[in-house]
Structure 1
Amino acid sequence: MSEQAGPVAALEVTPPSQLASTGRAAELAQLLQGRRGERHIVALQDFPDPDAISCGLAYREIAHRFGIAADLVYDGQISHPENRALVNLLGVPIQQYEPEMDLETYAAAVFVDNQGSTTHLTDRLKEAGVPTLAVVDHHDPDDVLDPIFSDVRPMGAAATMFVEYLSSGELLTLERNNEHHTRLATALMHGLHSETDGFVHARAPEYRAAAHLAPFIDPDLLEEVLCVQKSHATLSVIEQALHNRVVRNGFSVAGVGYVRWAERDSIPVAADFLLTEENVHTSVVFGLLAEEDGREVVSGSLRTHRPTLHVDEFLKRALGEDLRGRPYGGGRSRAGGFEIDVGFLKGDEDDPNQQAMKWALFDRRIRRKLFRAAGVEELDEICGPDEE
């Protein structure tokens, strides 16, 4: 009779994704090793969210270890109160693009949480002859840029990817009682929290990332950032969305009319709110924004908890692309957005009737395109007659 084997100690197996990330971290470390003394621009999307801001801060800290200066730049606005609180309370060194900035002083550009299609900096950097060094993003591939280093994977957050880099030990090792590392860990935790709806939609990589960050964060500071109250303007947009929403087949679509540029982030907040309604699995909210330079855009956000809806594919199919071949919309799992330039219909007319007519045109057309892509048949009933 053979001797029974004793208990076998459990082996800790490193997930394949983490092994791949360690390889990417080593690759990035080798690349940065040869770029010492340079100055890089970290190009964030025009309206940077906590995920983008925290990733930009992570690259800045990593670059500093390799003797590289890095500036976080965006060409839009930080309008969401929570995002402003993140920047202000953590003292994130981020700057808005100004026409007088000399982009030619940068040796390379790094894009985090975007691939160049959601920032006006892409064209500006190309015109200035600034090469793209790296792209780190968790959305579906856009193929807009041709970087030396690319890490584009379908993850819950771009912050997850940077935490994997940090945990590999190849680029930067977080230390307790280091003010910069505490600030970075807190920002990345906020990025994870924001991008996964408070970890409701987090997966194993996000939980591992949070566990790695936990010993280094400032919980009181994180709570202060998360508890920022909604503005009156944001509540007004939510009210408009509730009043104007049309629900069909689980899709809730609402146009909220003209929205002040400074309150742009009230649109995704309203989309999040509509998603809480009973029997709604997908919400879309959109409004018309006017920039200070006269440019007008229709900006919208989509939110869903329907696992079978491929957000990126849905928005690209519904809204199409511009004359340059760039999609008007795109996204990731459970969330997406779109921006459509008003073009020659833009104007600074003060006539309320003309403004109402212009908004009615865009409201009808966008509703029709979204509901058609969703397979809703009674388009004339809910959107008005087709004038295409």
Structure 2
Amino acid sequence: MPTGSKDSEAPEKTRFKPVYLILGSGSIGFAIAKELREMGKDLIIVDRDSQKVETLREEAYEATEGDIAELKTLKQFVGKKLSGVLVVSSDNEANKKAIKNVRELFEPDTYCVARSSDVINKQEMEEMGANFVFMPSKIVAKSISRSLGRAESMMLGNKLSEWFKKLANRTLGIVIHDNPDPDAMASALALQKIADHHEVRSKILYHGEIGHQENKAFVNLLGIDLNRMEDHDVEKFDEIALVDCAVPGANNILEEGQHIGLIFDHHPVSEVEVNADFIDVRPNVGATSTIMTKYLQELNIEIDDVLSTALLYGIRTDTMDFKRNTESADLSAASFLYPLADHEVLEQLERPSMSIETLDVLGEAINNRQVVGSYLLSNVGTIRDRDTLPQAADYLLNLEGVFTTIVFGVTEERIFISGRSNDIRINLGEILKTAFGEGSAGGHNTAAAAQISLGVFSDIKDRQTLLRLVDEAVVKKFLNAVGVEEVDE
């Protein structure tokens, strides 16, 4: 066969290149067109203003004059391989007619983006078949809020750095809440890193016990250097920082009213006066580790694998793997930390052995449960490790028909209460404050705790009598706070 014959020629290969149809060339339509062209996309612009169309053509855009609300305007593009249609004029009614015509004329999988000025029109456009509807006012508001957030973050970072510069070559005591959890310890470790960066010597101080098996594993695997407060004279430190708690004397053994240099916390705080140089309390985020990660980023401080693992685990535990009290800031911080963390250590932290006491308390919580409607309350009796209580409360929340759990136990001096809830109708932190007092109770919507001095009950010698009276008092106070008068028989 002759070399030049048509049969010997390979079939022509065509490459599909996305074409986007932009209906409306106002400020928003033109901005989108410019962005798409910079991305190398093919596009066609339609506008009813002939002068605008002429100007677009002079700038080498493919532009067509026509009313986007009319069917005949869009018919001329039938047969083109459109990847998307963007309906972005400032006229809601014209946009709705255009969406209707797009769905009538083009392939069902043609992606349609539309612009709306308000929520009602947005809903109508979505019902008509628009895949995505945006409101410019919302976008502007979000952009401004992000800009303000960035400015605030820079301001706080600069302010914190200036505070540390004044403390150079001196000492800082970093106090975390009693019986600390991974979020508190990781946040303190981050603050210690910031202190080191500014040549400030620091120690992490705690009171109570590290009883939860995961918390013990956390300290041991990461080699975190913690110091018991009883072994140090707090007054010998040049400055004191509070981390994962915000009020001296509340869930820590500092003196009430004591001057504090720095405070970082994510728990809601009651309206109390605190004598401090620098306070950053953000109840809207899920973990103090998130706050401290942002400071490390803002100050350009290098984060090693130990610190990144600690902070990531702190965020994950306090948000229950991003299922509780989670905000975009938590996800952003976790995304930043994830590639830096030691995932072998994380895997070990997630599967620690369960202590005998934890197993015993869980058994007591199951056996002693009282269910009142959707509320479950359980008195586990005498405890040594209060960290067993939240574990039991978490476990019992899995029971069918239970939306809120309250587990409580008694030590020699106090009653400890831990609560969990997935009931969107209640704020558990506020309920525990109402039931058991502002200074000794609080938390978030879904997780909260309280502690009460035994007071007059401490004189009761018979343990069974004591536990019965404690049970009656705690159950009655909680049920009154949620508006339930009697326990169902």
Q: Which amino acid is the alignment partner of residue 428 of structure 2?
A: V
Offset at residue 271 of structure 1 (A): 0.4
SS in 1 for 2:376: strand
Work out the number of aligned pairs and report it.
353
CA contact (8 A) 1:133 1:148 kept: yes
Distance 1:16 1:244, change over 3 A: farther
Q: CA deviation at 1:68?
A: 0.4
The two structures have a TM-score, normalised by structure 1, of 0.85
Pairing 1:1-388 to 2, within 5 Å after superposition: 5=30, 6-8=33-35, 14=146, 16-98=148-230, 101-116=232-247, 117-123=249-255, 126=258, 131-142=259-270, 143=272, 145-154=274-283, 155-168=285-298, 170=299, 172-175=300-303, 181-201=304-324, 202-259=326-383, 261=384, 263-290=385-412, 296-320=413-437, 327-346=439-458, 349=461, 354-379=462-487
Q: Distance in 2 between matches of 1:282 and 1:308?
A: 11
Alpha-carbon distance between aligned partners in 2 of 1:256 and 1:120, rounded to the nearest angstrom? 24
Taking a change above 3 Å as real, the CA distance of residues 220 and 340 of structure 1, as seen in their structure-2 partners, is same
Q: Provide the identity percentage.
A: 29
Which structure would you say has the larger RCO, counting Cα contacts within 8 Å and 6 or more residues apart? 1
Q: TM-score, normalised by structure 2?
A: 0.68
In 2, the alpha carbon distance for the partners of 1:2 and 1:319 equals 61
Query: 2 CA distance for matches of 1:16 and 1:310?
Result: 29
Task: Say if 1:371 and 1:173 are closer, same or farther in 2 by CA, change over 3 A.
Answer: same
- C-alpha separation between the residues in 1 aligned to 2:225 and 2:289? 18
Deviations 1:174-204 (A, max 9, x none): 25xxxxx211110000100100111222221
Q: CA deviation at 1:333?
A: 3.3
Measure, in 2, the Cα distance between the counterparts of 1:19 and 1:287: 46
Structure 1 pair 360–70 and aligned structure 2 pair: CA distance change class (3 A): same
Do 2:197 and 2:301's aligned partners in 1 also have CA atoms closer than 8 Å?
no
Q: Which has the larger radius of gyration?
A: 2
Superposition deviation, residue 22 in structure 1:
3.0
- Quick one: distance in 1 between partners of 2:148 and 2:288? 18
Give 1:299 deviation, angstroms. 0.3
SS for the counterpart of 1:315 is: helix
Residue equivalent to 2:113: none
In structure 2, C-alpha distance between the alignment counterparts of 1:17 and 1:363, rounded to whole Å: 46
Q: Classify the secondary structure of the residue corresponding to 1:121.
A: coil
**Given residue 218 of structure 1, which amino acid in structure 2 is its aligned partner?**
D
Q: Distance in 2 between matches of 1:250 and 1:21?
A: 42
Letter in 1 for 2:357: A
Distance apart, 1:15 and its partner CA = 6.3
